[in-house]
Structure 1
Amino acid sequence: MDLAKGEKIILENLYEELSKVVIGRQKEIKLLFTSLISKGHVLLEDLPGMGKTTLVKAFSKVLDCSFSRIQCTPDLLPSDVIGMSIFSPKSSEFSFRKGPIFTNILLVDEINRALPRTQSSLLEGMEEGQVSVEGQASLLERPFMVLATQNPIEMEGTFPLPEAQMDRFLMKIRMGYPTIEEEELMLKKVGDELPYDQLNSLFSPEAIVYMQSKAEQVFVHDSISSYIVALATETRRHPMFTVGVSPRATKALYKAVKSWALINQRDYVLPDDIKELVAPVWNHRVVLTPEASLSGMQSEKILADILAKAPIPEEVLEKAQ
């Protein structure tokens, strides 16, 4: 894909290629791509067998980027993620052996089966694009993206992610069950074996870095920024939340909507972009009250109510265009 010609990013090519392995899931694919262009990381949460790992593996394949996978277990150590210094008897010196985090796309499978100290070993890399070992900082490759899968925390043998770790994920996406038609097509098309080897690469690391730089240039009018801040303020006042979104979450939404606009072939942000991304960007950054949790309330539903009750000023639509 030649971005120099018109600088158009055609999602249809991505959908078509991934359809060789992944049936449906166009919304999830678009959100993954948006996070990548935003230099963000994604947490995919759902029950086992819902296609989380399949989607991540197929997505990384079409990016033509280096890829590593970590299968999390309770005995996984931070050094298994970052790497360690190895003593060589020949040279009588220590040399650093890089861990799987030194890659473009890192799949952290079942992240909540790892102990909290191992989960936290990802923090520096996710936030700063580097890791520190024995006082020495080593830069990670660009682009760098963590795609983590998680089973619901009520399942046996899992450890809830610390709030600091959750906040490092740009988005949390719940897969959900496929439609009847999608599940039937899945059995007909990829029922026996997943043909990962048939996937063609569409984006090079250089192309992705270029798109990331283009996303930073997308125009956001002051009234759009004010709208984002107003929504964030409402989450902090809402009686169903004990904790509303932080300024980091406000900034995360700001970055994400710029990338969303870019992949929709616009160089400016619209209020509809915010409506599309509030739930995946903010749903894991708010904390429900005990009463709301016991009554079965979902953070996505409350965020939708906040959006519905916060009408967009007419000037936002006029000035954004």
Structure 2
Amino acid sequence: MSLSQIQALKTRMQQSIIGQEDVVERLIIGLLANGNLLVEGLPGLAKTRAIKALAKNLEADFSRIQFTPDLLPSDVTGTEVYYQADTGSEFRFEQGPIFANIVLGDEINRAPAKVQAAMLEAMEERQVTVAGTTHHMPALFMVMATQNPVEQEGTYPLPEAQLDRFLMHITIDYPPVEDEVLIMNLVRGEENPSDDGKPSAASHSIEQIPQQAVFDARKAIAAIHMSEPIKRYIADLVCATRRPGDYSEELNRWIDVGASPRASLALDKCSRTHAWLKERDFVDPEDVRAIVHDCLRHRLMLSYEARSEGVTPDVVIDALLTHVALP
């Protein structure tokens, strides 16, 4: 039952997000793998719309944090507030916007380092401690942080150690011209009622997918079989980023620092989830190769030489896939 509900969730999202099928699938994978996502793309490419479509169709609380340089950590996590009444006075914890099921952190690279650290600590620990009291996040909790790759003024790039805490780094590109026309028709249909003056079919309320469907899916994904050769393939891919000289001189010139063990864990979770979405009870190499770019691109530190030559992390990962033997 959970698979059909998750597939329905994916279909509904694709009806609202045209031309970004891969992004929708990655959002679903991140949700089911119980991880947080970093989404990078130019303005107007439906980053915010995608996460809103997920929250709209899922039985979940949604909050948005618009990061700015003057933001404080308490603006994200919450703070103790002093209340005074006739019966006495007390400090009460007022939860910040991080306490929601689905959290959109818009333009996270515009926030100063202390705010980024508070946000990422809450993501990693799934809790916030204020005045000696620990406050836990909801059981269903996912953060999707966005950043603009072209703006540099007034931004604070995330350090590599903090980037490593994201399960996947998703990149969004422009949609094809055919989808551009469909996007115009979709938005026009949402903004204008039908000819008879009634709301369009798209505006009718729909039954939301219950949170239990996500929890059931996670149990099923945990039971997906992964053979020892596939586990070794994942380990070989990650280890190749640490010892690139063993594979090629080109890779050795390009990679300064390889991926951490978090990369192996991310590939494990995401490949199992990808296999489950494809209605298989086992992981094959194609599941690993399908999500390897999203799991590794933010975990590689490229050399100055690679960057000066215009080599991107995706180019490096493509080269890794050609040099690491399939199981």
What TM-score does the superposition give when structure 2 sets the normalisation length?
0.89
Verify: 1:236 aligned to 2:239, yes or no.
Answer: no
How far 1:201 moved relative to its partner?
4.6
Contact 2:6 2:214 in 1 (8 A): no
Counterpart code for 2:31? L
How far 1:169 moved relative to its partner?
0.8
Segment drifting more, 47-56 vs 107-116: 47-56
For 2:39, which of 36, 40, 44 is the aligned residue? 44
Paired position in structure 2 for 1:77: 72
Contact 1:61 1:201 in 2 (8 A): no
Q: In 1, distance between residues paired with 2:156 and 2:274?
A: 32
Taking a change above 3 Å as real, the CA distance of residues 295 and 281 of structure 1, as seen in their structure-2 partners, is same
Taking a change above 3 Å as real, the CA distance of residues 114 and 199 of structure 1, as seen in their structure-2 partners, is farther
Contact 1:236 1:245 in 2 (8 A): yes
Contact 1:9 1:263 in 2 (8 A): no
Taking a change above 3 Å as real, the CA distance of residues 192 and 152 of structure 1, as seen in their structure-2 partners, is farther
Paired residue secondary structure (1:36): helix
How far 1:8 moved relative to its partner?
4.8
Verify: 1:300 aligned to 2:299, yes or no.
Answer: no
Segment drifting more, 283-292 vs 231-240: 231-240
Segment drifting more, 150-159 vs 101-110: 150-159
Paired position in structure 1 for 2:264: 250
Counterpart code for 1:137? T
Counterpart code for 2:121? E
Taking a change above 3 Å as real, the CA distance of residues 288 and 233 of structure 1, as seen in their structure-2 partners, is same
Paired position in structure 2 for 1:59: 54
Superposed CA RMSD in Å reads 1.9
Q: In 2, distance between residues paired with 1:199 and 1:23?
A: 20
Counterpart code for 1:305? A
Paired position in structure 2 for 1:316: none
Contact 1:116 1:162 in 2 (8 A): no
Taking a change above 3 Å as real, the CA distance of residues 201 and 22 of structure 1, as seen in their structure-2 partners, is farther
User: Which segments of 5 or more consecutive residues in structure 1 lack a partner in the other structure?
Assistant: 314-321
Counterpart code for 1:155? Q
Paired position in structure 2 for 1:17: 12
Paired position in structure 1 for 2:131: 134
How far 1:131 moved relative to its partner?
1.4
Paired residue secondary structure (2:54): helix
How far 1:20 moved relative to its partner?
3.9
Contact 1:215 1:258 in 2 (8 A): yes
Contact 2:42 2:150 in 1 (8 A): no
Verify: 1:282 aligned to 2:296, yes or no.
Answer: yes
Q: In 1, distance between residues paired with 2:64 and 2:326?
A: 43
The superposition leaves residues 201-228 of structure 1 with CA deviations (integer Å, 9 ceiling, x where unpaired) of 5421121122122211211111111111
How far 1:237 moved relative to its partner?
2.0
Taking a change above 3 Å as real, the CA distance of residues 153 and 263 of structure 1, as seen in their structure-2 partners, is same
How far 1:154 moved relative to its partner?
4.6
The superposition leaves residues 40-66 of structure 1 with CA deviations (integer Å, 9 ceiling, x where unpaired) of 111110111221111111122111211
Paired position in structure 1 for 2:168: 171
User: Which segments of 5 or more consecutive residues in structure 2 lack a partner in the other structure?
Assistant: 192-199, 245-251
Paired position in structure 1 for 2:158: 161
Contact 1:20 1:199 in 2 (8 A): no
The superposition leaves residues 165-208 of structure 1 with CA deviations (integer Å, 9 ceiling, x where unpaired) of 21111111111000000111111221475698556354211211
Equivalent pairs, count: 308
Contact 2:221 2:273 in 1 (8 A): yes
Taking a change above 3 Å as real, the CA distance of residues 133 and 236 of structure 1, as seen in their structure-2 partners, is same
Contact 1:18 1:199 in 2 (8 A): no
The superposition leaves residues 87-121 of structure 1 with CA deviations (integer Å, 9 ceiling, x where unpaired) of 01223210000111111000011111111110111
Paired residue secondary structure (1:157): coil
Paired residue secondary structure (1:227): helix
Q: In 1, distance between residues paired with 2:62 and 2:101?
A: 6
Verify: 1:205 aligned to 2:217, yes or no.
Answer: no
Taking a change above 3 Å as real, the CA distance of residues 8 and 50 of structure 1, as seen in their structure-2 partners, is closer
Q: In 1, distance between residues paired with 2:326 and 2:31?
A: 28
Contact 2:108 2:116 in 1 (8 A): yes
Paired position in structure 1 for 2:194: none
Counterpart code for 1:81? V
Segment drifting more, 102-111 vs 301-310: 301-310
Q: In 2, distance between residues paired with 1:204 and 1:122?
A: 27
Verify: 1:215 aligned to 2:229, yes or no.
Answer: no
How far 1:139 moved relative to its partner?
1.1
* Seq. identity, %: 40
For 2:21, which of 14, 26, 30 is the aligned residue? 26
